[in-house]
Structure 1
């Protein structure tokens, strides 16, 4: 049975999990002060890069003795720098419950070829048993599983007196979820996630313990120039005051500064987390009254408030093959996108069929609520089309 189309559309129908929606009210005019055509090594360029680092520290509440660097190749580049520069002297515990975490496991085992590696894994929608983490090992994990909608609920499972380093990919958690800095030695994220910045730039945050490892350990493998953070056994401090390893886009830097200033204007980290929680609450209330949709993560304590993943549980759809369920989800998403009511809602290619809706702080709760009306309409349309085809 068909449903009437909703009367309104989201003001900003952008729900991609990366690059994510720009901050409310953003226009290209926001970038008018960008240092275009200027060297990033000129006084103006270095000042803007240093300001980006300082504002990052202020908004996220990063401890004063942690280093913050702008690095190449987005979050991936930042994680790879950490893996290739720090791992090796201790056993490694690699934790994965979705695509990106699994990718770090592959790099550790197949590319770095480390032998003493314990893999803790879980399927989409679940977390591994974190009590099994060896605190004497170096631990590599994602704080928020972008492709599964599952996050660690806290850092209680990490000991304050641990012997190993913790390397945390926080790219869809930073600016939306509280990070326990005392438990984290390396934190990475990218500009295009929770603040809706532009792509290709990563952030690498190092604790004093991580710096001590860098200055006392030389990996047995070659390190490309863009991975090198030490010279003569000492940290290259310039990286962490804005002297980037390679040339950054000053247009993207200006956009990140705009996003950080917006974050401050709405109330800082607490307000950003509150906005993401409010967006996710809208979806949770809709799921509670919607018989055909459920969260991929069953336990509310581990559900993401940014990359929210849903599955279709209508019996007529779950009876289909995996390919059939994926085709149905694709048809549902296409119907919404065709109407201009919501873009980039589909599940990640390696994840179970369903929806993935970004609910980070740059999204408005009212737009999420309107989107749910279109999802109900699109589900009815896709199911009717399926019945007709049968």
Structure 2
């Protein structure tokens, strides 16, 4: 018995985990363009950058104690900026259960030579968070984009911690209700849950992080792009829209579009609800197929944004064949698992995706599975 090609394709088959699907209704003609061709140092340029920061603060319900800065280099640049400027004042613990967490281990060990305590887990699993010593600075990914594993909440972060908590939250911000009082440093990129463009990162600093920056000078030289302090004080302009380097005002306007869209669907609560609905739709697809499984077996630590799946007896070649068929038919783009992860699929379920498109994807997975069964 053959599996026929489905009649209905996802209306927007964009399931990439970054850059992610644009918000519903997005069109380049809808972007405000009056800031294009203007200096980011002009009154208008500063106003738009500041407005973007204000929208992020409003939607994230970020307390006034925390600062938001737009920085270069996407989430990677933002997180490395935090590492290079603040680590070395005390011991360091790094948590790694996927490739980006391993990247921060490499930076801490080989670049900064800090000899950190490393706590690891395999793809699909979360390490024992009770092992964390909060007298150290602690680096972790809130949501492992390449493994589909997230921390369950912020309860494991000590309220009376001596060290700083550094959260790489690039595929978590705007998808989870993050307890900001537990986060000293957070980083993310517009290209994930907001469906914005790449190249720019966002750095969020709590008061304890600011205190570290103003009281500690690293032993290593800092590139200009990483310098957050001037004459012993935080460079406050960075957190008011005076970026360190020249930003793309087109990317800024695109981010503003996404943020205004998010506000229009109910803000953070609306974003979380859409994400959860998408993840639930994909859960139903997995539950109805005995050959399809979640890489993260424990629902308590399973991502609701970058959902990673395994397929029975499917090696890299079969995954490649399946995804090529789906792309050729315009049914799903960019859903192969990350190159360092176990062979499988990775389907983005963030808020800019529509649940109806996730539902429409199920029969296409059946078809591609059958087509490659030989």
| TM-score bin, normalised by smaller chain | over 0.9
Query: In the alignment, what sits opposite 2:108?
Result: 108
Which of residues 354, 358, 365 is equivalent to 1:368? 358
1:138 and 2:137 correspond: yes
1:3-22 matches, cutoff 5 A: 3-22=3-22
The TM-score normalised by the length of structure 2 is 0.99
Determine if contact 2:33/2:250 at 8 Å carries over to the other structure.
Answer: no
Give 1:335 deviation, angstroms: 1.0
Structure 2, unmatched stretches of 5+, are none
Moved over 2 A (4+): none
Give 1:182 deviation, angstroms: 0.8
Q: 1:179 to 1:252 in 2, by over 3 A?
A: same
CA distance in structure 2 between the partners assigned to 1:103 and 1:220 by the alignment: 21
Query: In the alignment, what sits opposite 2:65?
Result: 65
1:192 and 2:182 correspond: no
CA distance in structure 2 between the partners assigned to 1:140 and 1:298 by the alignment: 24
Query: 1:193-237 deviations in whole A, cap 9, x for unaligned?
Result: 101001100000000000000000000000000000001110000
Query: In the alignment, what sits opposite 1:262?
Result: 261
Equivalenced residues, count: 374
CA distance in structure 1 between the partners assigned to 2:135 and 2:2 by the alignment: 58
Give 1:34 deviation, angstroms: 4.4
1:3-42 matches, cutoff 5 A: 3-42=3-42
1:166-185 matches, cutoff 5 A: 166-185=165-184
Query: 1:363-384 deviations in whole A, cap 9, x for unaligned?
Result: 000000001110111100011x
1:148-167 matches, cutoff 5 A: 148-167=147-166
1:330 and 2:320 correspond: yes
Query: 1:62-120 deviations in whole A, cap 9, x for unaligned?
Result: 111111000001000000000000000110010010000000010001100012x1100
Q: CA RMSD in A?
A: 0.8
Determine if contact 1:34/1:250 at 8 Å carries over to the other structure.
Answer: no
CA distance in structure 2 between the partners assigned to 1:14 and 1:294 by the alignment: 21
Give 1:156 deviation, angstroms: 0.8
CA distance in structure 2 between the partners assigned to 1:118 and 1:172 by the alignment: 25
Determine if contact 2:78/2:202 at 8 Å carries over to the other structure.
Answer: yes
Q: 1:250 to 1:376 in 2, by over 3 A?
A: same
Query: In the alignment, what sits opposite 1:49?
Result: 49
Q: Secondary structure at the match of 2:372?
A: helix
CA distance in structure 2 between the partners assigned to 1:122 and 1:373 by the alignment: 33
CA distance in structure 2 between the partners assigned to 1:17 and 1:245 by the alignment: 27
The TM-score normalised by the length of structure 1 is 0.95
Which of residues 353, 368, 373 is equivalent to 1:378? 368
CA distance in structure 1 between the partners assigned to 2:255 and 2:21 by the alignment: 13
CA distance in structure 1 between the partners assigned to 2:302 and 2:155 by the alignment: 17
